[in-house]
Chain A
Amino acid sequence: MEAMRILTVGDCAVSVEFGQEISLEINHKVMALKMVLEREPIRGIVELIPTYCSLLIQYDPMDLRYGQLRDRLEALVTQLDEVEMPPKQVVEIPVAYGGEYGPDLGEVARAHNISEEEVIKLHSEPEYPIYMLGFVAGFPYLGGMNKAIATPRKKSPRLKIEAGSVGIAGEQTGIYSVESPGGWQIIGRTPLKLYDVNRNEPVLLKAGQYIKFKPITKEEFRTMENEHKGN
């Protein structure tokens, strides 16, 4: 495990980085630091954003200066191994792969010299841990993707990607929770709404849960989509 680094993010934030690879071990450290800071708040810290390998800590220099925060954080990291993580939860996400719902499925298959069916199989097999939410409301960043389908982002980002689109970027896979521009390779789409402000819980998924993709047909997609519209 690499040493912890405290990176400067301007005058009102720092990023505590526990490594530079996607691993559950590193992500647990991020979540553990977040839990410790929520349990015993440091005056001046205003918001915490957990990501794969780092915790972004926003603070107000009127209450807490950079040097003070650094000292406090360096003292805290020694306690992180003792923090207990919640039990495993798996959420099933139905996905229509390819065609109009996944225009880049062919490109991903060609990049690895395998069939589209093989990409779908490799993509829907694992249980993916949700490392973080970000980019837009409710967007889950997932770990555990098979490296055999890892594909670089598109050279030029698309201006519009539909909500529910399932994509690949490098060794990562994820789901667009709202319509958005973006550079991910889009291989499918789910009819579930990952973000809906009219629900009691606007965001469907939480960091720390796991998801499993379930391939569905285009007909099933349309049926489920209509059901959700009806609700």
Chain B
Amino acid sequence: MSIKVINSGLMTTIQDKGRMGYQASGMQVSGDMDRYSASIANALVGNEDDAPLLECTYLGPELEASEDVLVAVTGGEPKVLVDNKPVHAYESLILHKGQHIKVASMEEGTRAYIAIDGGIDVPLVLGSHSTNLKLGIGGAEGSKLYNGEVLNTGRPTDLANAIISGKSHIRHTDHEYMAHHHLWQENNHGDSHEVRIVLGPQDDYFTPEAVKALDGAVYTISNESDRMGYRLEGEVIQRATQRDMITDGIVFGSIQVPPNGQPIIMMADHQTTGGYPKIATVISADLPLLAQCSPGSKISFKVISVEEAQDIYIKFRQALKEQIALMDKESKEEWPDRRPGVINYNLKIDGQLFQVSVEEIK
């Protein structure tokens, strides 16, 4: 089973959760920018959470299936076409032999994730399938996808077999229950997205006024932004001391401030260590949102405590788990009936819940 890359898109790479365990040697973690959307995409096709999938930026790829295969596209609001006809994102799709799927554009957000059942079959390099473009390792020979490339896929999942043979309903996830979508709207304050941060580790390198002003400060994501980091433009963050700090460790979400006072948020391909002081760190639950912001987007920082951030993180992880469990449950059930013309109701009679499908008599 394989897929052929008809058009690679702007910047499409194979990613998984990232290359953990080698940061002490200076090896970057890489991995998907928006772990939330990647998890949902894999769940929609019955893959393991960590299965290698495609991450694309703005203009996605056009792919051709060599056999019937189950695919799903998530991340922001991608415009997805199968043989030039629009289809739903956030839903498992049967791609028949010879059909083309294309992520034509992003109506909302920046990065789409394309999961294929069985995952993309590329070798493990130091424990991960993630593409590290800087080192030229992982993914498909350490590079982004190119036109004409053929990607093998792993053994078809049970879910794919069941759906393709018509024994199971397709998997979908409702937008109104989409934590990510919800987060996007909830955090959209007029023209800026709220990004929550925890102060430290080097907030004491900056003036108390600068630290105070960071709470609520609005920054624009500049054009010099990629998987490695987002350079921000806005209020200059004033240093309290000019002494060089001694290089220390960095995480995905670290906000470092170089001498020009314009912050840089370190993203998935960030280096493991750095010599600029880090005034704060973006909370883990807001990284998927940040990954979907594009150059020109405005973000506003909100300072919260580490305990609050961990409460949000745990809630976020549990919500994702529940969302995937719900998909599992729904795809095993016969209800709701998704044939056209059928209307489904939840009815409560004497305290008992009934699921009713109504179809017009022809």
**Interface positions of A (Cβ within 8 A of B):** 7-13, 15, 17, 20-22, 46-56, 58, 61-62, 65-67, 132-139, 141, 152-153, 155, 169-170, 172, 177-178, 180, 195, 197, 202-203, 207
**Interface positions of B (Cβ within 8 A of A):** 20-28, 125-126, 134-137, 198-202, 244-251, 253-254, 259, 271-275, 278, 281-284, 306-307, 309-310, 312-314, 317
| Chain A residue at minimum C-beta to C-beta distance from B23 | A49
Set of chain B residues within 8 Å of A170, measured between Cβ atoms? 244
Q: By CB atoms of chain B within 10 A, which of A58, A152, A180 has the most?
A: A58
| Chain A residue at minimum C-beta to C-beta distance from B25 | A203
Q: Is the CB–CB distance between B249 and A134 below 8 Å?
A: yes
- Choice from B135, B253, B312 contacting A178 with Cβ under 8 Å: B135
Set of chain A residues within 8 Å of B198, measured between Cβ atoms? 8, 10-11
Question: How far apart sit A134 and B27, CA to CA, in the bound complex (Å)?
Answer: 7
Q: Is the CB–CB distance between B201 and A50 below 8 Å?
A: no
Q: Is the CB–CB distance between B134 and A10 below 8 Å?
A: no
Set of chain B residues within 8 Å of A58, measured between Cβ atoms? 251
Question: How far apart sit A13 and B283, CA to CA, in the bound complex (Å)?
Answer: 11
| Distance (whole angstroms) from the CB of B334 to the closest CB of chain A | 34
Question: How far apart sit A210 and B296, CA to CA, in the bound complex (Å)?
Answer: 46
Q: Tell me whether A139 and B248 are in contact in the complex, defined as CB-CB below 8 angstroms, given that A15-B201, A134-B272 are known contacts.
A: no
Q: Is the CB–CB distance between B273 and A135 below 8 Å?
A: yes
Q: Is the CB–CB distance between B249 and A56 below 8 Å?
A: yes
Question: How far apart sit A9 and B256, CA to CA, in the bound complex (Å)?
Answer: 12
Question: How far apart sit A12 and B316, CA to CA, in the bound complex (Å)?
Answer: 14
Q: Tell me whether A12 and B26 are in contact in the complex, defined as CB-CB below 8 angstroms, given that A51-B247, A134-B271 are known contacts.
A: no
Question: How far apart sit A41 and B105, CA to CA, in the bound complex (Å)?
Answer: 46
Q: Which 4 A-B pairs have the closest CB atoms?
A: A56-B249, A134-B273, A10-B281, A7-B201
| Distance (whole angstroms) from the CB of A119 to the closest CB of chain B | 20
Set of chain A residues within 8 Å of B245, measured between Cβ atoms? 20
| Chain A residue at minimum C-beta to C-beta distance from B132 | A137
Question: How far apart sit A17 and B204, CA to CA, in the bound complex (Å)?
Answer: 14
Q: Is the CB–CB distance between A51 and B309 below 8 Å?
A: no
Question: How far apart sit A194 and B312, CA to CA, in the bound complex (Å)?
Answer: 41
Q: Is the CB–CB distance between B271 and A21 below 8 Å?
A: no
Q: Is the CB–CB distance between A15 and B249 below 8 Å?
A: yes
Q: By CB atoms of chain B within 10 A, which of A20, A21, A132 has the most?
A: A132
| Chain B residue at minimum C-beta to C-beta distance from A58 | B251
- Choice from A46, A51, A53 contacting B20 with Cβ under 8 Å: A46
Q: Is the CB–CB distance between B247 and A178 below 8 Å?
A: no
| Chain A residue at minimum C-beta to C-beta distance from B24 | A49
| Chain B residue at minimum C-beta to C-beta distance from A26 | B246
